[in-house]
Structure 1
Amino acid sequence: MESTTHHDTTTLEPLCGEEEFAEILNGMVVDFAPRLFAVVQEYGDRLNGWFAAWGMAFPGHAEVVAVDGGLRMRVQDAESALRVFTAADDDVSARIVWLPAVNSRLEQEPEDLAHAQRV
């Protein structure tokens, strides 16, 4: 999204009516919402499981926050977070569980989203 140069707004006309402007902004939120996911840890061969972190996938990177609040990280993609949550010595593996997308555009892979936002 482009940054806006600050102007004296008293001399500028609104782009459209209040309801139409709200509708445009709401559409932008849906169109460009990040894809949500959980990092799930599994102990042994289906002996136990829990979610360890929540994340948001953006074009080009993902943000991940551990459920205990003790870890926040920015990674290249959602799968890059798995190594932090995997402990082979303790027989703990990790995987990504994608939440349902807000719209069909979000079903695309994050790399495809970067291209779609540029078009």
Structure 2
Amino acid sequence: MPDPVGRPPLCGEAQFQELVQDLVEDEAPRLFAVVQEYGDRVDCRIAAWGMAFSDRVEVVSVRGGLRMKLSEPEDSLCWFRLDNFVSARLVWHVGLNGQRP
């Protein structure tokens, strides 16, 4: 980072806040859950949460103890399938405005 001492502000406070907000919106990772399903719709639980960045995926199990850095969200599923009766799938989080981030 270059030293900012002596450099003037890029713009006014309100415009800078808008630029910062736009940056956060553009760079935010997409949030998803890894859901384990028991049997044929008998029951389910969230087993892990993941964040999909532009260049990688980070996944953390709900119970702790498992943290993964992967290439694709789907790569996490094999870690949460058990036997023949527990399957795993991704469920993308839908934002507060009803749209996927």
- State the TM bucket, normalised to the shorter chain: 0.7 to 0.9
Whether the aligned pair in 2 keeps the contact of 1:31 and 1:105 (CA below 8 Å) is: no
Aligned equivalents of 2:95 and 2:80: distance in 1? 24
Separation in 1 of the partners of 2:2 and 2:29? 28
Change (3 A) 1:26 1:76: same
Q: Secondary structure at the match of 1:64?
A: strand
Q: Unmatched 5+ residue regions in structure 2?
A: none
TM-superposed CA distance for 1:31, in Å, is: 1.6
Deviations 1:19-48 (A, max 9, x none): 111110111111221111000001111121
TM-score (norm 2): 0.87
Q: Which residue of 2 aligns with 1:113?
A: none
Query: CA 1:62–1:102 in 2, change beyond 3 Å: closer, same or farther?
Result: farther
1:43-73 CA-to-partner distances (Å, cap 9, x unmatched) read 1111211000111111232111111121111
The answer to whether residue 88 in structure 2 is matched with residue 94 in structure 1 is yes
Identity %: 50
1:46 aligns with 2:41: yes
User: Would you identify which runs of 4 or more consecutive aligned residues in structure 1 move more than 4 Å?
Assistant: 101-106
2:53 corresponds to: 58
Alignment of 1:22 onto 2:17: yes
Compute the RMSD of aligned alpha carbons: 2.0
The TM-score, its normalising length taken from structure 1, stands at 0.75
Consecutive unaligned residues of structure 1, counting only runs of 5 or more, are 107-119
**Aligned with 1:65: secondary structure?**
strand
CA distance, structure 2, for counterparts of residue 101 and residue 73 of structure 1: 24
Match of 1:117 in 2: none
Give the number of the structure whose residues are more often helix, by fraction: 1
Aligned: 1:85 with 2:80: yes
Q: In 1, are the aligned partners of 2:92 and 2:100 still within 8 Å (CA)?
A: no
Give aligned pairs, total: 100
Report the Cα distance in structure 1 between the residues aligned to 2:11 and 2:66, rounded to whole angstroms.
Answer: 43
